[in-house]
A and B are shown apart, each in its own frame.
Chain A
Amino acid sequence: MKVIENNEKTKIHLKINGNVYEYETEPRRLLVHVLRELGFTGVHVGCDTSNCGACTVIMNGKSVKSCTVLAVEADGSEILTVEGLAKDGKLHPIQEAFWEKHALQCGYCTPGMIMEAYWLLNENPNPTETEIREGISGNLCRCTGYQNIVEAIKSASQKLRINQTPYQHQ
């Protein structure tokens, strides 16, 4: 059994957007702060009670609020942040759809919202409007009134299904 004292640090490894990072951290430090310190400043902090979802990332395939995970708990996990979505400068269809449908204003909820949408469309490639709204109900937005976000996710789900068709038939 490994025991780390209060004021001690321990080494952790995180695979973020495909690259492995080594980090020394106190046990109390939150994953969100470690991700941000490692340069993933697209991961945002919007609250202190796990309501807003601005810190949402994909951890081992699940969308999680990284403000509610200790960095030491995340040791060894694979994490995807919004910075890892675009490939070779080409936007991910969800990012494209957010741009086209004007689904962001101040942009502060956007990275978390896009990651939640990414998870949602993985789980349910063809969601209804109600499923989309419920699917992003852990992500608060103060600017958009959500309507264009819902439209963007609908449009992204179409794009993704069209893109995936030839792939699935291979």
Chain B
Amino acid sequence: MHYIGQPIKRIEDPRLITGHGTYVDDLVFQGTKFVAFLRSTKPHARIKIAKREGIFTGEDINPGKDFPIATNETTYIGQPIAAVIAKDRYEAYDLLESIEVEYEDLPYVIDPYEALKDEKKAYSGLKSNIYINKTYSKGNPEEAIKNVDFVIEDELINQRMIASPLETRGILAYFDGQRLNVWSSTQSAHFLRRNLVQFLNYSNIRVIQPDVGGAFGSKIIAHPEEYAVSKLALKLGIPLKWVPTRTEEMISAGHGRDKSMRFKVGFNKNGKIMALMGTIVGDLGAPYSDANDDESGNVLSTTKMVLGPYDIPNASVTAYAVHTNKVPTTSYRGAGRPEATYFIERIINIIANELKMDPIEIRLNNVVKPNEMPYDNGFGIVYDTGDYVDILNKAKKYYTELSAEAKEKGYCTGLAMYVEITGFGPWEVARVFTKSDGKIIAITGSGPHGQGDATAFAQIVAETLEIPIENIEVKWGDTDIIEDGIGTWGSRTVTVGGSAMLKAAQELKSRFIEIASKMMNADIEELEYKEGTITHKTENKKLELSDIIKYAYKNGISLDVTSVYAVSKPTSPYGVHMAMIDVDKELNKMRVIKYIALDDIGKVINPMLAEGQIHGGVLQGIAQALYEGAKIADDGSLLNSNLGDYGFPTAVESPEIKWYYIEKGLSAHPTGSKGIGEAGAVVSTPVIVNAVENCLGKRIKTMPLSLGDSL
């Protein structure tokens, strides 16, 4: 029974295609009340709220502090400053209109470069707006740049994006007198539980992650509203539900990217980069620590990954993560790596155009060679396995064909390469147990929310135990059903969660064999396990799993295995993507006609699901290049706070995407796999911008391109 590597249909689908999923807003308990939040309309101000019955302020949630709920001083438009509780959502929004707020304006800072000067503090409690300032260096770029044929200096901007999962955040919290029960649209029940335990200083908390309508990084952290609703539920003892409107979601959550790079690059006639120097500035928005911890790590990821898959001998890049009076930024699909890939792939494209070089040739002249693997990039990242030369050579065939077609039809082409870091630690948990009736239950400590990892886990368990996949039920998202867990992010779930699952399934299998050896009075070496049947190699004896399970329960032997899989370092997938696009200069319209993705993500557990991740990620990256971007006015307000104005692509804007994969660089994890959840979004943005740049013969600095700034 081979399941790994097969395009197995999703076990998640039957409920979801019949409307029987259970997302957080589908849940109601008797007497559930609805919570709504009043949000700041000022980027930075002192606030006074008239306290009345039924209105809760920061004093009720976090007395004396301005986070998660602002008490005295608000630091971004959209920050929650008060909460109301009402019978239902209609009355809650009525009630919000009756709250009186007095604002006393304070100086605010929107531009991160201005914030770096520290003349105006984003929050009065800050010593400095600068949260992180770190430089990574290798070789001697100052010296090296003196001896190169060409130097280019410029700035690239990777604009603020809004993750915009189709389901917003939302929470239902209920205190039963002993225990706080929380259902949330989150990326990890366990991580949210740990956050709530710390905030509430109360450990009897159960968190459930029900079905979640996507997240793309926006639901990793515990949001201010989740802390506030949990606190109010604990205090009031009634079930409370909070679900924001889309407008609220857009003005308060899911903001990501928002980094720029000022660079100076030195290279030779053959396109070989000898020195790269630069400064990367990431806008953290307001000082909400959950978000800042998340995003400042992403700023460092951008910086550490900015050398891409290239062997750049001399480099020095400084990272700044800086506060402004905007929505606190958080992870968005790729979490820092898309910006890194964007910066270096744009720089390479700029150089290639300057030298009139083929985009594959210039990359071949710069990539890390296969004999150099594993490769330490000098900025603190080790690329583990793979063959960058080989994948570029394979890409050549596709790119040549695509370019010929483009020439014939009057279209343009562009290409970009990426190397990624995925499969982050520190650990993940899996539990596999057997019911007395033979049903196998597999539980993961991660928290899938669309990616289909449950199917991949069922494949892993079924293949390990050599039993039909239908015998396996996969569960997740309840802190009561498994010891603990980390979560789903960083393209880690199939690889790290899957390795934990593989270990647990292997251990359960060993336990079956041990029990059989006892039952048959034979040594383990004398037994053979095949498709759920254990036979004696020499004697005519055999046992079915059902016999072993019966015996185990009767004799007090547990068939419940929990494995914790510890991770020491991330693993690096890579690939080359390309696109053919139609640029109508007169109408200022751009459309991606064809997109080809070629990836090496190690062992592919389920090619159908991996391809689905590429389709979704690629379109998000295309949308960043062409359509999307948070338009923030000078006063800090978001101008495009709905799905119409924001540029969210429809089926009409999405291109035909072809996906190819090789399995050359396996990871060292038991699954052999690497992550693909973010790869599409990591690389597709520069693919598109490079294509447009090649078309226009004019350097592009900002996105989205459909706004016409670049044409």
Tell me the A residues contacting B by CB distance below 8 Å. Answer: 26, 28-29, 33, 36, 40-49, 51-52, 54, 81-83, 85-86, 91, 95, 98-100, 102, 104-111, 114, 132-134, 136-150
Residues A44 and B648 in contact, CB atoms below 8 Å apart = no
Given contacts A99-B13, A106-B449, A141-B166, whether A44 and B651 have CB atoms under 8 Å apart is no
Residue B475 is within 8 A (CB to CB) of chain A in the complex = no
Q: In whole angstroms, what is the CA distance A141 to B615 when docked?
A: 12
Residue B587 is within 8 A (CB to CB) of chain A in the complex = no
**Chain A residues whose CB sits within 8 angstroms of the CB of B403 once the complex forms:** none
Residues A147 and B656 in contact, CB atoms below 8 Å apart = yes
Residues B654 and A147 in contact, CB atoms below 8 Å apart = yes
Residues B651 and A136 in contact, CB atoms below 8 Å apart = yes
Residues B164 and A83 in contact, CB atoms below 8 Å apart = no
Residues A142 and B17 in contact, CB atoms below 8 Å apart = no
Q: Which of A29, A95, A108 contacts B166 (CB 8 A)?
A: A108
Residues B245 and A48 in contact, CB atoms below 8 Å apart = yes
Residue B125 is within 8 A (CB to CB) of chain A in the complex = no
**Chain B residues whose CB sits within 8 angstroms of the CB of A141 once the complex forms:** 166, 651
Q: Which of A86, A108, A138, A148 contacts B23 (CB 8 A)?
A: A108
Q: Interface digits, B1-44 against A, CB 8 Å rule (1 contact, 0 not)? A: 00000000110111111111111011000000000000000000
| Chain B residue at minimal CB-CB distance from A45 | B25
**Chain B residues whose CB sits within 8 angstroms of the CB of A82 once the complex forms:** 17-19
Residues A140 and B650 in contact, CB atoms below 8 Å apart = yes
Residues A105 and B214 in contact, CB atoms below 8 Å apart = yes
Given contacts A98-B13, A107-B450, A137-B651, whether A42 and B18 have CB atoms under 8 Å apart is yes
Q: In whole angstroms, what is the CA distance A33 to B245 when docked?
A: 13
**Chain A residues whose CB sits within 8 angstroms of the CB of B167 once the complex forms:** 44, 46, 106, 108
Known contacts A107-B13, A109-B213, A142-B620; 5 additional CB pairs below 8 A are A82-B19, A106-B211, A107-B15, A133-B652, A145-B657
Given contacts A47-B246, A48-B642, whether A109 and B19 have CB atoms under 8 Å apart is no
Q: In whole angstroms, what is the CA distance A111 to B18 when docked?
A: 7
Residues A149 and B651 in contact, CB atoms below 8 Å apart = yes
Q: In whole angstroms, what is the CA distance A83 to B15 when docked?
A: 10
B35 → chain A, closest Cβ, in Å? 16
Residues B23 and A44 in contact, CB atoms below 8 Å apart = yes
**Chain B residues whose CB sits within 8 angstroms of the CB of A43 once the complex forms:** 19
**Chain A residues whose CB sits within 8 angstroms of the CB of B14 once the complex forms:** 91, 99
Residues B612 and A46 in contact, CB atoms below 8 Å apart = no
Residues A140 and B643 in contact, CB atoms below 8 Å apart = yes
| B17, B612, B642 pick with most chain A CB within 10 angstroms | B17
Given contacts A47-B642, A99-B17, A107-B16, whether A142 and B609 have CB atoms under 8 Å apart is no
B654 → chain A, closest Cβ, in Å? 4
Given contacts A102-B10, A147-B657, whether A52 and B19 have CB atoms under 8 Å apart is no
Residue B452 is within 8 A (CB to CB) of chain A in the complex = yes
Q: Interface digits, B229-257 against A, CB 8 Å rule (1 contact, 0 not)? A: 00000000000000101110000000000
Q: Of residues 481 to 509 in B, which have CB atoms within 8 Å of A's CB atoms? A: none
Residue B224 is within 8 A (CB to CB) of chain A in the complex = no
| Chain B residue at minimal CB-CB distance from A152 | B17
**Chain A residues whose CB sits within 8 angstroms of the CB of B166 once the complex forms:** 44, 46, 52, 54, 106, 108-109, 140-143
Residues B18 and A49 in contact, CB atoms below 8 Å apart = no
Residues B12 and A49 in contact, CB atoms below 8 Å apart = no
Residue B672 is within 8 A (CB to CB) of chain A in the complex = no
Given contacts A105-B452, A133-B652, whether A42 and B21 have CB atoms under 8 Å apart is yes
**Chain A residues whose CB sits within 8 angstroms of the CB of B609 once the complex forms:** 102
| Chain A residue at minimal CB-CB distance from B211 | A107
B208 → chain A, closest Cβ, in Å? 16
**Chain A residues whose CB sits within 8 angstroms of the CB of B451 once the complex forms:** 105
Residues B616 and A105 in contact, CB atoms below 8 Å apart = yes
Q: In whole angstroms, what is the CA distance A36 to B335 when docked?
A: 35
Q: In whole angstroms, what is the CA distance A133 to B619 when docked?
A: 15
Residues A106 and B213 in contact, CB atoms below 8 Å apart = yes
Q: In whole angstroms, what is the CA distance A54 to B619 when docked?
A: 19
Q: Which of A95, A133, A143 contacts B214 (CB 8 A)?
A: A143
Residues A142 and B214 in contact, CB atoms below 8 Å apart = yes
| A45, A108, A136, A150 pick with most chain B CB within 10 angstroms | A108
Q: In whole angstroms, what is the CA distance A125 to B37 when docked?
A: 46
Given contacts A46-B166, A105-B452, whether A145 and B652 have CB atoms under 8 Å apart is no
Residues B654 and A146 in contact, CB atoms below 8 Å apart = yes
Residue B644 is within 8 A (CB to CB) of chain A in the complex = yes
Given contacts A108-B214, A109-B166, A142-B165, whether A48 and B246 have CB atoms under 8 Å apart is yes
Residue B566 is within 8 A (CB to CB) of chain A in the complex = no
**Chain B residues whose CB sits within 8 angstroms of the CB of A144 once the complex forms:** 612, 615-616
**Chain A residues whose CB sits within 8 angstroms of the CB of B164 once the complex forms:** 142
**Chain B residues whose CB sits within 8 angstroms of the CB of A146 once the complex forms:** 615, 619, 650-651, 654
Q: In whole angstroms, what is the CA distance A138 to B13 when docked?
A: 23
B574 → chain A, closest Cβ, in Å? 21
**Chain B residues whose CB sits within 8 angstroms of the CB of A109 once the complex forms:** 166, 213
- 10 contacting pairs across A/B (C-beta < 8 A): A45-B243, A47-B643, A48-B246, A51-B644, A105-B214, A105-B451, A106-B212, A140-B648, A143-B616, A147-B657
B210 → chain A, closest Cβ, in Å? 11
**Chain B residues whose CB sits within 8 angstroms of the CB of A99 once the complex forms:** 9-10, 13-14, 17
Q: In whole angstroms, what is the CA distance A139 to B651 when docked?
A: 8
B312 → chain A, closest Cβ, in Å? 32
B488 → chain A, closest Cβ, in Å? 12
Q: In whole angstroms, what is the CA distance A110 to B15 when docked?
A: 11
B405 → chain A, closest Cβ, in Å? 18
A140 → chain B, closest Cβ, in Å? 6
Residue B327 is within 8 A (CB to CB) of chain A in the complex = no
Residues A81 and B644 in contact, CB atoms below 8 Å apart = no
**Chain B residues whose CB sits within 8 angstroms of the CB of A104 once the complex forms:** 10, 13, 16-17
B537 → chain A, closest Cβ, in Å? 42
**Chain B residues whose CB sits within 8 angstroms of the CB of A49 once the complex forms:** 246-247, 642-644
Q: Of residues 433 to 479 in B, which have CB atoms within 8 Å of A's CB atoms? A: 449-452
**Chain B residues whose CB sits within 8 angstroms of the CB of A114 once the complex forms:** 17
**Chain A residues whose CB sits within 8 angstroms of the CB of B651 once the complex forms:** 132-134, 136-137, 139, 141, 146, 149-150
Residues A134 and B652 in contact, CB atoms below 8 Å apart = yes
B629 → chain A, closest Cβ, in Å? 16
Q: In whole angstroms, what is the CA distance A85 to B430 when docked?
A: 36
Residues B13 and A85 in contact, CB atoms below 8 Å apart = no
Residues B652 and A44 in contact, CB atoms below 8 Å apart = no
A97 → chain B, closest Cβ, in Å? 10
**Chain A residues whose CB sits within 8 angstroms of the CB of B654 once the complex forms:** 133, 145-147
| A105, A109, A133, A148 pick with most chain B CB within 10 angstroms | A105
Given contacts A99-B9, A137-B652, A148-B615, whether A46 and B246 have CB atoms under 8 Å apart is yes
Residues B452 and A98 in contact, CB atoms below 8 Å apart = no
A119 → chain B, closest Cβ, in Å? 15
Given contacts A47-B643, A102-B10, whether A111 and B19 have CB atoms under 8 Å apart is yes
**Chain A residues whose CB sits within 8 angstroms of the CB of B23 once the complex forms:** 41, 44, 108
| Chain A residue at minimal CB-CB distance from B650 | A137
B18 → chain A, closest Cβ, in Å? 6
Residues B643 and A83 in contact, CB atoms below 8 Å apart = no
Residues B619 and A28 in contact, CB atoms below 8 Å apart = no
| A102, A109, A139, A148 pick with most chain B CB within 10 angstroms | A102
Q: Which of B12, B19, B26 contacts A81 (CB 8 A)?
A: B19
Q: In whole angstroms, what is the CA distance A63 to B536 when docked?
A: 63
Residues B213 and A107 in contact, CB atoms below 8 Å apart = yes
Q: In whole angstroms, what is the CA distance A54 to B617 when docked?
A: 20
| Chain A residue at minimal CB-CB distance from B216 | A142
Given contacts A47-B246, A99-B17, A145-B619, whether A106 and B642 have CB atoms under 8 Å apart is no
